[in-house]
Amino acid sequence: MYRFSLWSSIATAAKRAASASLFVSSSHRRCLHSIPFATIVVEEISASHAAEVHNLVQGSWKSSTEWNTIVDPLNGEPFIKVAEVSEAHIKPFVESLSKCPKYGLHNPLRAQERYLLYGDISAKAAQMLSQTEVSDFFARLIQRVSPKSYKQALAEVQVTQKFLENFSGDQVRFLARSFAVPGNHLGQQSNGFRWPYGAVAIITPFNFPLEIPVLQLMGALYMGNKPVLKVDSKVCIVMEQMIRLLHECGLPKDDMDFINTDGLTMNKLLLEAKPQMTLFTGSSRVAEKLAGDLRGRVKLEDAGFDWKILGPDVQEVDYVAWVCDQDAYACSGQKCSSQSILFMHENWASSSLVPKMKELASRRKLEDLTIGPVLTVTTAQMMKHIEKLLEIPGSKVLFGGQPLENHSIPDIYGAMKPTAVFIPIEEMLKDENFHLVTTEIFGPLQVVSEYKQDQLVLVLNACERMNAHLTAAVVSNEPLFLQEVLGRSVNGTTYAGIRARTTGAPQNHWFGPAGDPRGAGIGTPEAIKFVWSCHREIIYDIGPVPHLWEVPPST
């Protein structure tokens, strides 16, 4: 009964927040059945009406003799069956990738009409995602498998729609823009081209089941590659439905493969198929293993222990507190860009910032999924980490620090109140504490610290010692302070100014890490060209040979 009362509460909240609700009328339900690509009705997915997810290989959707059962993250009931590909059955996927030549399915000198094709596909897909019933379908499907508030889920759909809109029409061919440099003599010219890799692989995580795989998949396809896509099995149903939408919009079915399998089998597939490039978004541990196994033929957008520094100029306290709450706890902290650590200047520490953050955190509740299941860290693991932090001298819980109550979230997942733990800056920098304090917990947990006017160097030293440099925020309008911090840090996506944040990247700027030559970007033309193509130089030298030329002496 709790399961149904919970979704009823969510529906009521969503109606207040958006025009669509999580439960729909019978007429809307008939409309859902009429969505041309959909093979499911979101509200009907349950233990008694399990949805199925299939694989796509060599242009055909395939079932399997082996099924992986996914449980509902809100009540533990089995509600999705995923057709799993075992090691013994990866041959069709290996063969599919092997059919793609290294020069790709199209390139600047071959099958150029496919650039136009993908501009049309993007336009049609963007138009379809802009329809209320379609965007609502995906937002609610995201909520079912990666619970987050309706507004957060819908934002993911909207970013994806805007991305596709951005690369409509001629914008795909503009990605392959080349250049020419005059040569040394008549008939010689050097040309630089953006060239595809050919067969590639994409591996994406659970936390953004639509946005991340769509943006990387389409980037790969735009540049002429043939990708095999693997999405975390817990959320793969979202991308399966999106691929069916893309097919409806004209995507050739044999341009890509979609595989559902475990990590070991995917690793074996990569070793046998030998894709020219693999994009991996996920944990640093897996990223490093892949980098070794694939001999460096990878682009990585791995974990980030993301920092925020509040400068000396205290202003707009309500706004800054709200952004801190969003950065740390939206999607239950399950963003690679989530605010992991907050460095407060002493002026902010003496303001009302922390009490306001505590008040905002207390508004979050399971009923509207503003706090919800943590899918990669259990409650016990989070509690143990907090206990270790509290062993550090001077540490204390600012708020939270307790499990969620009155829920049916299964024990395999986490259920934690939004939590902030204070650690003194001097203690944090000690060798015996630093690794513990800067360990990313992919859940609603952040570290807070304070620095004095003359201790900024300690904060910058802490940032320098961190290993993952994804996002960061410098919250200040003081130009010299901004210059000092920005000039002595490296995070790839850094927001600066009083409205600075660490999360909520739209489709209009680069999102990705810095400081690592393997780092992958997402979202922009520069990101697509950087990740999904390489530079090829063709030097035309057609003559003529000079009149009366003779063979010169050997050199």
Active site amino acids:
301, 336
Query: DSSP letter string over 243-308?
Result: HHHHHHTT--GGG-EE----HHHHHHHHHHH--SEEEEES-HHHHHHHHHHTTT-EEEE----EEE
Residue type, 444: P
Nearest to 246 by CA among 100, 124, 119: 124
**11-17 — which CB contacts under 8 Å span 24+ positions?**
13/150, 13/367, 13/368, 14/150, 14/368, 17/149, 17/150, 17/151
Nearest to 213 by CA among 233, 197, 229: 229
Residue type, 467: N
- Residue 266 half-sphere exposure, CB side, CA atoms within 13 Å? 25
Please, which residues have CB within 8 angstroms of residue 208's CB and are 6 or more apart in sequence?
146, 156, 335
Give the Cβ contact number of residue 554 at 10 Å: 4
What are the tokens at 481? Answer: 């302070």
Residue 280 to residue 284: CA distance in whole angstroms: 10
